[in-house]
A and B are shown apart, each in its own frame.
Chain A
Amino acid sequence: MTPGFGSLIQDVLWCFSQVKGTIDTGVTESDIISTVEFNHTGELLATGDKGGRVVIFQREQESKNQPHRRGEYNVYSTFQSHEPEFDYLKSLEIEEKINKIRWLPQQNAAYFLLSTNDKTVKLWKVSERDKRPEGYNLKDEDGRLRDPSMITVLRVPVLRPMDLMVEATPRRVFANAHTYHINSISVNSDYETYMSADDLRINLWNFEITNQSFNIVDIKPANMEELTEVITAAEFHPHHCNTFVYSSSKGTIRLCDMRAAALCDRHAKFFEEPEDPSNRSFFSEIISSISDVKFSHSGRYIMTRDYLTVKVWDLNMENRPIETYQVHDYLRSKLCSLYENDCIFDKFECVWNGSDSVIMTGSYNNFFRMFDRNTKRDVTLEASRENSKPRAILKPRKVCVGGKRRKDEISVDSLDFSKKILHTAWHPSENIIAVAATNNLYIFQDKVN
């Protein structure tokens, strides 16, 4: 089994592994998956949905008897993380939808993750219990109290094995710190702090303290009429605990250094690609809005996703990205209808593979795209029940832009814009990916020879 390092797209054959969720003709809104995230070892895979629920899958141990079968992901724990609320003071309905889940690195037997909705971040502890004490003196096995006067013999309770129970408990609730809607959370490499970002502000928290947070970025103008841009995503540098980036609705990225000042309104670096003013249209700003920003594992690059492209930026070069990949440029001639049906505002995420050599992002019609940064090859794959035979190899898909459509191609006008892949995740070291297709979670792996 080869790890994902240095793998080329044409050498990797992606195969169907598993699909979670039901085949429904109508999708219940609360079942829509809103975030997917592997933990740092890839042993656990968490999903959050619009109904405020978290489901965690665990990879089963690989069996020596079946070396050709890679470990499958089975349900490990599920819990209700957030519930709908109504803020009566502001007359604001607060959705329970889980916007993001981020894992903490494991430091003991228990697992910790942060989950957030629009307003409140929670730290959850997920732990196993496989033993329980038996043989109490003062209560019997059902828990009923025994009459002390009837006890004549003392015994020492012993721990006996029990069926594995996985419990999730909320350990911290970080509330009331965001006036606007939280779009990102990011755990710092110091493992002591994390940040939460909303449309206009970013706050820094200590995991131990829930009643205070430091505001580190505030772009709210004194006069809201002058509002021109909002924060769309934010992330800490993977190694430098003083550095973070945030992206904006105007397509720019700011890198900030917390050592420079307590309030990082002045950026240390400002990344923006120059635009040709003659190309400017009504849609320019909307499609340049960055929906996701991710540091590479190496910490040398950042990747951004806007409506039509994925861009890779070198931290040392602010004036333009070093790589630009077209996700679905054929949509440029559909912008009018995509604006009318609001699809132009869809927020796609993007991910790096473990070695930073391949990047992946979603599209419509349940298609997702991978770009190999070294060979410059790309591939379009589809998450579909039709390709869901075990270990079936995924066939590359192609969108036909006009002229003669070949047999296996799909025309732009036939694309299903309600089937959008906004959230994907890549295992930290292996070629295993998780793709959320509305209410279904697909897991794909590379072919093992």
Chain B
Amino acid sequence: SAQEAPRAAEMEDKVLSPEKAEEAKLKARYPHLGQKPGGSDFLRKRLQKGQKYFDSGDYNMAKAKMKNKQLPTAAPDKTEVTGDHIPTPQDLPQRKPSLVASKLAG
């Protein structure tokens, strides 16, 4: 919020396109947002879709932490590429195929 004041002053100097105004809003909320617009962060996140565990070390660490019932949480920051917390087998929903027929066919 302290960063919003100088930015607001900047905005008054020129007429911003709606897109640039939105960008200023976003940067005010997430000051650490990646310097590269769009870019690799999104692409890497897209390629990693569905990834549950980074590696077996990840998995074993998570199992060890479960003993303390403390799950590590990531910073609520948009630059983080990983998910909310490291999933454990108990967290993963049982993936079963749909046994129910589609309602479109009803």
Contact = CB atoms under 8 A, between A and B. Distances in A.
A93 B104 contact: no
A228 B22 contact: no
Nearest to A90: B51
B37 A31 contact: no
B64 interface: no
B47 interface: yes
A182 B101 CA distance: 25
Contact of B21 (A21, A55, A333): A333
A348 B53 CA distance: 30
Contacts of A90: 51
A285 B102 contact: no
A333 B106 CA distance: 41
B14 to A, nearest CB: 11
B19 A52 contact: no
B41 to A, nearest CB: 10
Contacts of B19: 279, 281, 283-284, 332, 335
Contacts of A21: 103-104
Given A282-B33, A332-B18, A228 B39 contact: yes
B80 interface: no
B97 A80 contact: yes
A131 interface: no
A375 interface: no
Interface residues on A, range: 35 or more
A279 B59 CA distance: 45
Interface residues of B, number: 41
Contacts of A441: 104
B74 interface: no
A183 to B, nearest CB: 10
A229 B50 contact: no
A332 B20 CA distance: 9
A353 to B, nearest CB: 24
B101 A78 contact: yes
A36 to B, nearest CB: 11
Contacts of A439: 103
Contacts of A95: 50
A336 B26 contact: yes
A118 B50 contact: yes
A328 B86 CA distance: 38
Interface in B44-69: 44, 46-47, 49-55, 59
B60 to A, nearest CB: 13
A225 B27 contact: no
Interface string B15-46: 00111111101110100010001111011101
A431 B25 CA distance: 44
B97 to A, nearest CB: 4
Contact of A286 (B42, B53, B55): B42
B85 interface: no
Contacts of B98: 30, 51-53, 80, 96
A227 B26 contact: no
A75 interface: yes
Nearest to B58: A91
Contact of B40 (A78, A228, A345): A228
A93 B95 contact: yes
A170 interface: no
Contact of B22 (A86, A225, A332): A332
A377 interface: no
22 contacts: A22-B103, A22-B106, A30-B98, A31-B102, A78-B102, A90-B51, A94-B50, A181-B46, A227-B40, A228-B43, A229-B43, A279-B19, A281-B19, A284-B37, A284-B38, A286-B37, A289-B38, A332-B17, A332-B19, A334-B22, A335-B18, A335-B26
